[in-house]
Structure 1
Amino acid sequence: MAEYKNVEDLSYKEASTELELIIRSLESGEMELEESLESYTRGVELLKSLRSRLAGAEQKVSVLLKDIDGNDELVPGAPADDSDALNL
C-alpha cells in the first residue's frame, strides 16, 4: 500500500497533479486490481477536496465583487466545469 500525504495537507496544485497522475495510471490499464482500487479511492478523495476548495474560492470571489458604485454586491459565480469529472 502506497504512503500518501493527507489530502488536506496538499496544495491545490499538488492535489491536482497527483489526481492527473492517478488518472493516467488508471487509463494505462497496467496496474493490478488492488492497486487500481487503491488509486481510484485516492483519486476520489483528491477530486472531492479539489471541488470543495474550488467552490470555496468561487464563493470568495463572488463576495468580493463590487458593483460600479462601490457597493458590496453578492454576485453568484458560475459553477466550475466538471465535464472531465470521474463518474462516481
Structure 2
Amino acid sequence: MADDATKDTRKVEDLSFKEASVELEQIVRSLEAGDLELEESLERYSRGVELLKSLRERLANAEQKVRVLLDATDEDAPVTDTTAAPSTAYLDE
C-alpha cells in the first residue's frame, strides 16, 4: 500500500534542494521495498526522475557559481614574482 507520507504533490521547483533530495531518497526506498502496485511504482519512478533532473541542474548551477567566484578571486589575487628572490638552497648545505 502507498505511504502518503512519501507523496509530495508540490511542484519540484518549489522544493528546496534538501527537500527534493529527501523526497527522492524516500521514493528510492519505497521502490526498492517492492511493496507498491505497478501504477504507484510508475508514478513514484516518474516523480523520482523529475526530482533527480532538478537536483542535477541545481547542482550544476551551484558548481558554475563556485567556478565563477573562484575565477574572480584568482583574478583579484596579487601575483608575486619569485624569480628575482634570492635562492635559499644554500641554507640546507
For the aligned pair, the TM-score class normalised by the smaller chain equals 0.7 to 0.9
Structure 2 gaps of 5+ residues are: 1-6, 79-93
**Alpha-carbon distance in 2 for matches of 1:23, 1:3:** 14
Q: Give me the identity figure in percent.
A: 70
Higher helix proportion (structure 1 or 2):
2
CA RMSD across the alignment: 1.7
Find the counterpart in structure 1 of residue 44 from structure 2. 39
* Aligned pair partner of 1:7 in 4, 12, 25: 12
Higher relative contact order (CA 8 A, sep 6+): 2
1:25 equivalent in alignment to 2:30: yes
Give the number of aligned pairs: 70
* 4+ aligned runs moved over 4 Å, structure 1: none
Name which one, 1 or 2, has greater alpha-carbon Rg. 2
TM-score normalised by the chain length of structure 1:
0.74
